[in-house]
């Protein structure tokens, strides 16, 4: 079962981007002639699986290993390292080479940085006296297509690095990737940015375009009309809420990694107790493509209806004589049976979580905070979680939501919860709490909360949301419309015009720029609710394309909301999503947790 998504229906030619990356990787492997040991940074192995199957790598005479601190056990005399530019990984590589040298082993070592060489890394190799033993190159893998309309820069730690460590390397990486795309798809005429990191990426991109301009005569009319850069810091409420779409809930409860979930084979009906299996989840699975963006409670109904229909068809075929065309239709339905079985098993497994009182209680608390109701109830709930010693990340996730929607915590509450957390989970977590404070995620209250104003103006809470036949993006959280996507809605329709007051209440600056020579995307002034008819198409009949880039990660629920917007009748644009990585509240909070040595 392939894990690599089919990109044939992508709004832009992501297949060409993937093919280019595949060829560059194959060139690296061919350059090191003969049999070799390919040592891959574990964080990269999943990304590479979306480019090439491991069987393809082996065709190039490569024996595969994951990079760890332990020496590489191989008889191959050529060792090829494929790693991100991280200082700790340089230490691992140095120790491997020193270990071989001490044993008198003579090998050829090749090191390819992904996506580019970094001076600080090479300095460590020099200090460890192994630099001269390495042939060093680059594998410029700046982005990975995750699906037809989503690609990732694979920068898992970008939010923490920028907000806490002050490291802006990831921003350069994002700007470079977008600039590279412009050489294939044309210079993007409209750029709208909100947030510290986002406006900085826009500035870097402008500088790159000035230094290395895209020749418009080579490319013609730009394929991407508008770029919207959105900093995760602008909306930290959304990822801290539990996603309620099918794909979002799969990620929340099982963890989707590189387009697949790994779980016990027994859950999928296999008689292999204790054995793990990977279940691919992307648009190559037609049923998954149909249901992935639905609210989970609707998915259960849809699967039930499909199973009932198939059962009825089977009864009809068994009891009555059917025409050849009817038999043919039935066989087609039978071909989709493995997909049906897969998703019925997954939905059944998810239901065991969603029916638990603890899950429903957490949803209630999230709703209370988002609606800006009684904060005392939420404070008591978090205090109880700490006393029960629930997983630290679960507590911090709700605490972040509590702090953001309340513009921080009153000093008395802040000091009390900080003390309780350290007593319950250990004083080694002082670093974690400091990280959250430095990032502005958990802080002392210094002003009146502006969440009520933001919520009302942008209509973030929608009463009586119809999850079965939704008419608004709020269906993805059963009543809460993601703040990030409300901003995108406005940015697409009319730029930041008319939204300045709300933008000033949100973290970071905003910017908007327009290059001459190309028309702007059609401008519409209405916010959510009724959707205007967008009957303008691009000159050649295509729909305008909007690239929305999330700096600091995006949730599957937000992607579902963007797909919903794009699918609305009369909408004249397609949306493609770029992100530093796919996140949920758990994975994002975890990046701020200091790991004890």
| Distance from C-alpha of 553 to C-alpha of 239, rounded to nearest angstrom | 9
| Distance from C-alpha of 126 to C-alpha of 94, rounded to nearest angstrom | 9
The confidence score (pLDDT) of residue 101 equals 95
- Chain CA centroid to CA 436, Å: 21
Q: What is the pTM of this model?
A: 0.90
| Distance from C-alpha of 237 to C-alpha of 400, rounded to nearest angstrom | 8
14-141 has which CATH code?
Answer: 3.40.50.2060
- Chain CA centroid to CA 174, Å: 14
> Which top CATH class is 146-237+457-588?
alpha beta
| Distance from C-alpha of 424 to C-alpha of 257, rounded to nearest angstrom | 31
> Which top CATH class is 246-354?
alpha beta
Do 96 and 65 contact (CB within 8 A), yes or no?
A: no
Going from N- to C-terminal start, the domains of the chain cover: 14-141, 146-237+457-588, 246-354
Q: Is omega for the bond preceding 115 within 30 degrees of 0, making it cis?
A: yes
SS3 256: strand
What DSSP letter does each residue of 461-474 carry, written as one string? B-TT--SSS-SSGG
The confidence score (pLDDT) of residue 39 equals 96
Q: Which residues of 68-100 are buried (b: 16+ CB within 10 A; e: fewer)?
A: eeeebebebebbbbbbbbbeebbebbbebbeeb
The confidence score (pLDDT) of residue 476 equals 97
β-partners of residue 409 are: 444
Nearest one of 32, 42, 41 to 80, comparing CA atoms: 32
What DSSP letter does each residue of 20-83 carry, written as one string? HHHHHHHHHHHHS-SSEEEEE-HHHHHHHHTTS-HHHHHHTTEEEEE--SSPP----SEEEEEE
| Distance from C-alpha of 123 to C-alpha of 118, rounded to nearest angstrom | 9
Residue 422 CB neighbour total at 10 angstroms: 15
SS3 480: strand
| Residues composing the chain | 597
First to last CA, the chain: 39
Residue 380 CB neighbour total at 10 angstroms: 12
| Distance from C-alpha of 353 to C-alpha of 346, rounded to nearest angstrom | 11
Q: Where are the alpha helices (DSSP H) in 152-244?
A: 158-163, 169-185, 196-211, 216-219, 237-240
The confidence score (pLDDT) of residue 290 equals 95
| Distance from C-alpha of 565 to C-alpha of 576, rounded to nearest angstrom | 12
Reading the block at residue 594, the tokens are 């200091």
Residue 497 CB neighbour total at 10 angstroms: 12
SS3 231: strand
Beta-sheet strand order (sheet of 78-84): 62-66, 36-40, 78-84, 108-114, 134-138
Nearest one of 92, 138, 130, 135 to 112, comparing CA atoms: 138
Asked if 14-141 and 246-354 have one fold, the answer is no
Do 471 and 436 contact (CB within 8 A), yes or no?
A: no
Reading the block at residue 323, the tokens are 């025409």
Reading the block at residue 156, the tokens are 């898992």
The confidence score (pLDDT) of residue 523 equals 42
**pLDDT averaged per 10 residues, the chain (length 597):** 72 85 88 91 87 76 92 94 93 96 95 92 96 95 91 88 88 94 92 96 95 77 93 97 98 93 89 83 92 96 86 65 57 69 93 95 95 86 95 97 93 94 95 95 90 95 92 96 96 90 95 68 41 43 86 97 90 91 96 80
């Amino acid at each position: 079962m392939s894990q690599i998504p089919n990109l044939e229906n992508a709004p832009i030619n992501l297949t060409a981007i993937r093919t280019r990356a595949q060829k560059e990787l194959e060139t690296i492997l061919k350059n090191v002639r003969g049999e070799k040991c390919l040592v891959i940074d574990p964080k990269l192995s999943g990304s590479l699986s979306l480019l090439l199957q491991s069987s393809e790598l082996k065709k190039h005479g490569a024996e595969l290993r994951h990079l760890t601190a332990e020496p590489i056990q191989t008889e191959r005399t050529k060792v090829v390292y494929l790693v991100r530019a991280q200082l700790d990984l340089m230490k691992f590589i140095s120790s491997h080479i020193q270990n071989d040298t001490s044993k008198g082993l003579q090998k050829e070592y090749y090191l390819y940085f992904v996506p580019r060489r970094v001076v600080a890394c090479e300095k460590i190799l020099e200090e460890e006296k192994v630099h001269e033993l390495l042939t060093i190159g680059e594998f410029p893998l700046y982005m990975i297509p995750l699906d037809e309309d989503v690609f990732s820069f694979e920068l898992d730690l970008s939010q923490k690095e920028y907000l806490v460590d002050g490291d802006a390397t990831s921003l350069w990486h994002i700007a470079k990737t977008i600039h590279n795309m412009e050489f294939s798809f044309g210079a993007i005429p409209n750029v709208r940015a909100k947030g510290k990191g986002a406006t900085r990426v826009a500035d870097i991109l402008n500088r790159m375009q000035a230094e290395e301009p895209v020749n418009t005569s080579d490319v013609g009319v730009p394929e991407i009309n508008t770029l919207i850069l959105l900093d995760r810091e602008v909306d930290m409420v959304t990822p801290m809420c539990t996603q309620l779409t099918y794909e979002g809930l799969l990620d929340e409860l099982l963890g989707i990694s590189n387009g697949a979930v790994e779980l016990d084979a027994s859950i999928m009906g296999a008689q292999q107790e204790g054995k793990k299996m990977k279940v691919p989840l992307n648009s190559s699975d037609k049923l998954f493509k149909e249901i992935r963006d639905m609210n989970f409670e609707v998915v259960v109904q849809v699967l039930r209806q499909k199973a009932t229909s198939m059962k009825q068809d089977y009864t009809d075929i068994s009891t009555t004589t059917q025409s050849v065309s009817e038999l043919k239709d039935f066989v087609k339905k039978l071909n989709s049976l493995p997909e049906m079985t897969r998703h019925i098993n997954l939905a059944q497994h998810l239901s065991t979580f969603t029916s638990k009182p603890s899950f429903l209680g957490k949803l209630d608390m999230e709703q209370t905070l988002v609606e800006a109701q009684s904060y005392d109830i939420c404070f008591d709930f978090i205090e109880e979680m700490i006393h029960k010693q629930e997983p630290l990340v679960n507590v911090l996730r709700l605490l972040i939501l509590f702090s953001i929607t309340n513009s921080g915590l009153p000093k008395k509450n802040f000091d009390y919860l900080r003390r309780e957390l350290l007593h319950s989970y250990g004083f080694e977590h002082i670093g974690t709490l400091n990280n959250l404070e430095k990032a502005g995620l958990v802080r002392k209250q210094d002003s009146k909360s502006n969440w009520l104003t933001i919520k009302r103006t942008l209509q973030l809470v929608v009463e009586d949301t119809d999850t079965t036949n939704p008419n608004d993006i709020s269906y993805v959280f059963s009543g809460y419309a993601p703040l990030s996507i409300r901003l995108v809605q406005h940015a697409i329709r009319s730029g930041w015009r008319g939204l300045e007051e709300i933008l000033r209440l949100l973290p970071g600056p905003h910017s908007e720029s327009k290059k001459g020579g190309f028309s702007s995307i059609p401008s519409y002034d209405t916010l959510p609710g009724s959707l205007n008819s967008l009957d303008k198409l691009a000159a050649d009949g295509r729909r305008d394309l909007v690239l929305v880039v999330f700096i600091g990660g995006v949730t599957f629920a937000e992607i579902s909301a963007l797909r919903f917007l794009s699918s609305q009748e009369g909408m004249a644009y397609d949306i493609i999503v770029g992100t530093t990585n796919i996140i949920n509240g758990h994975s994002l909070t975890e990046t701020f947790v200091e790991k004890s040595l």
